[in-house]
Structure 1
Amino acid sequence: MINQVYRLVHPGQFEISYKVKAINNGKVIIRPTYLSVCNADQRYYQGKRDVAVLEKKLPMALIHEGIGEVVHDPTGQYKVGQSVVMIPNVPVEDDQYMEENYMISSRFRSSGYDGFMQDYLFMRHDRLVPLSKAITGHPAAFLELVSVAMHGITRFLKRSHDRKQRIGVWGDGNLGYISSILLKTMIPDADIVVFGKTKRKLDYFTFIDEKHLINRIPSDLKIDHAFECVGGVGSESAISQIIDHIVPQGSVSLLGVSEDPVAINTRLVLEKGITLFGSSRSGREDFVDTVNFLDEHPDVIGYLEHLVTKVIPVRTIEDIRQAFDEDQISPWGKTVMEWHI
């Protein structure tokens, strides 16, 4: 069959390309239903990546957050019409010491390989996770981002000591919001303290125990562990504040993505015996954990719904451009595309 792929060919410019796909290749055919725009997609769309990177990776279909419906499964493992979340990371080898999302050989959709903006997707069975009827609609579109937070917290629980009375989260954006609600639900006895730049954004964090503007942090405030969910140019100051306020031998989970190197006060890191570790993307296990977690805690889905600020029905390339343009000017939350194209 001929499949239409909607690729970014230059910043701000999408074009349709056509690919011949075999139906009998053993893969599951998925029709995308809801797709969510990520900051990484925006950096490509706005041309904010290095010129050499853009030349290497474009043209490319964007979007790595989304769900879809099964159209055909030659094995019968998935039923026609079944709703599934699609995993963008595609490992091509196994390593007992390395998770799939850290393997250099793994392929990641919308980062050098075509993402989910296609008429149909042809995916391996292990790159899909079934969704229950409770996890549907707009919040389900960005389950990938929730799985990233889940991955970071899972690694944190394995590496941090057991004193978790106060956990700080730096970042009042989408990742900080999601990480905070997961932490509060998974570690209910801990006080979750959020540090942000904008009071209006912090007002959305109704479920946490304490919040502070980053320019008004009490000098005597102490935390046991921390999550850095800022990224970009703000990463450096966030990490600096974390190092200042964390107690000795605390753990710091670094989740924010920065295009440029950031300076870290290694003298104080050594003096306090702080553990710094990074987490990036997620793998199948994290998606399964996320879906099971939301099934067990359906109230969290209600909080995730608050992140949905733009819903754009997409029937044409112009609608795709509109979704990216409106997402670009949105100060908070996620833009979801209802995929009707």
Structure 2
Amino acid sequence: MINSVYRLTEPRVIEEVFEETNLKEGDIIVRPTYMSICKADQRYYQGNRDINTLKEKLPMALIHEAVGEVVKDYTGTYKSGDKVVLIPNTPVEEDEIVEENYLESSAFRSSGYDGFMSEYVYISKDRVIRLPDNIDLKVASFIELVSVAYHGIRRFKTLSHKRRNKIGVWGDGNLGFINSLLLKVMFPDSRIIVFGKNLEKLSYFSFADETYNINQIPEDLAIDHGFECVGGFKSEFAINQIIDFINPQGTIALLGVSENKVAINTRMVLEKGVNMFGSSRSGKKDFEETIELISKNHYIADYLKSLVSNEVEIDSISDISDAFSTDFNSNFGKTVLKWNL
């Protein structure tokens, strides 16, 4: 079967490629319907990765946040027309200790392997999950990002101590919004405090118990645990500020991605006995539990819908370029693509 794949061949250049694709045993065919642009996709598109990484990974189809409709499933697991979320992480082995998203052997779509920007997606049936009928597909398009936040919180539950009176979240962007929202749902008795720099963005966090500008935090404020959702070079300031305000033996979850090394105040990490862990991507279990959480708490989707800042109809390659440009210039929220190609 001939399939159209839309690959980034060099920064800001996307080309259509026609590929002969054969189904492997256990694969199904899905027609993408909605996608969402992630910061990682944007970095590739803009060429904001080091030149060696770009040479190694391009050409490559972008986008790892997507939903679609099943076209054909020869295994009989899904019916044609079933709405499903696509899981970008693709493990080839199981480990009794290491989760699938940390296995070095796992492949990840739109990071060295083609993402979902294609006419059809050929994917293993265990890498899709059927969506509830009542979920908004625009919101569902970035369930992958929600599952990443959920994964970090799930690990936090097992790694942190039980005193969770105050949990701080550093970051007023999309990940900070989603992470603090899920924390409020999953720890209703905890005070969720959000720390950011942009007052306009912080105004969206209406579900949080408190919000603070990072330059105006009361000196006597203390948190039991903290989540870093900033990323980039600013993560250094965020991590060290969390260390300053965290109580002894608190846990710090690092979720923001930085291309460069950052300096951390290890003296105070040692003095306070701080537990610090990194969290990246997510696995099928996180997708399943995230969808279940949203299904049981419908107001989560209402809050997530407020993150949809741009919706772009994709009928041509130029529309893809316009979508990435729109997203790049967007101050807050997610850019959702209605995929018509």
TM tier relative to shorter chain: over 0.9
CA shift, 1:337, in A, is: 0.3
Aligned counterpart, 1:123 = 123
Aligned counterpart, 2:201 = 201
Alpha carbons of 1:180 and 1:24: their partners in 2 closer, same or farther (altered >3 Å)?
A: closer
Q: Within 2, Cα distance between the matches of 1:320 and 1:182?
A: 31
- Amino acid aligned to 1:136: D
Q: Within 2, Cα distance between the matches of 1:248 and 1:12?
A: 47
Aligned counterpart, 1:229 = 229
Q: Within 1, Cα distance between the matches of 2:287 and 2:150?
A: 8
CA shift, 1:66, in A, is: 0.6
CA shift, 1:26, in A, is: 3.5
Aligned counterpart, 1:212 = 212
Please, which runs of 5 or more residues in structure 1 have no aligned partner?
A: none
Aligned length: 341
Aligned counterpart, 1:138 = 138
Aligned partner of residue 161 in structure 2, secondary structure? coil
Please, which runs of 5 or more residues in structure 2 have no aligned partner?
A: none
1:42-72 residue CA offsets vs partner (Å, 9 max, x unmatched): 0001000000000000000000001000000
- Would you say the 8 A contact 1:24–1:74 is kept in 2? no
CA shift, 1:86, in A, is: 0.4
Q: Within 1, Cα distance between the matches of 2:213 and 2:23?
A: 54
- Would you say the 8 A contact 2:44–2:54 is kept in 1? yes
Aligned counterpart, 1:47 = 47
Q: Within 2, Cα distance between the matches of 1:49 and 1:209?
A: 37
Aligned partner of residue 182 in structure 1, secondary structure? helix
CA shift, 1:24, in A, is: 6.7
CA shift, 1:302, in A, is: 0.2
- Amino acid aligned to 1:276: M
Aligned partner of residue 224 in structure 1, secondary structure? strand
Aligned partner of residue 96 in structure 2, secondary structure? coil
Aligned-pair identity in percent equals 57
- Amino acid aligned to 1:244: D
Aligned counterpart, 1:245 = 245
Aligned partner of residue 200 in structure 1, secondary structure? helix
Aligned counterpart, 1:307 = 307
Aligned partner of residue 14 in structure 2, secondary structure? strand
Q: Within 2, Cα distance between the matches of 1:236 and 1:24?
A: 45
The reply on whether 1:6 has 2:2 as its aligned counterpart is: no
- Would you say the 8 A contact 2:233–2:258 is kept in 1? yes
Aligned counterpart, 1:181 = 181
Q: Within 1, Cα distance between the matches of 2:197 and 2:73?
A: 47
- Would you say the 8 A contact 1:36–1:141 is kept in 2? yes
Aligned counterpart, 1:291 = 291
Runs of 4+ in structure 1 deviating by more than 4 angstroms, as ranges, are none
- Amino acid aligned to 1:44: Y
- Would you say the 8 A contact 1:134–1:298 is kept in 2? no
Give runs of aligned pairs for residues 29-44 of structure 1, distance below 5 A. 29-44=29-44
- Would you say the 8 A contact 2:26–2:125 is kept in 1? no
- Would you say the 8 A contact 1:196–1:214 is kept in 2? yes
1:88-119 residue CA offsets vs partner (Å, 9 max, x unmatched): 00001111110000011100000000000000
- Would you say the 8 A contact 1:307–1:332 is kept in 2? yes
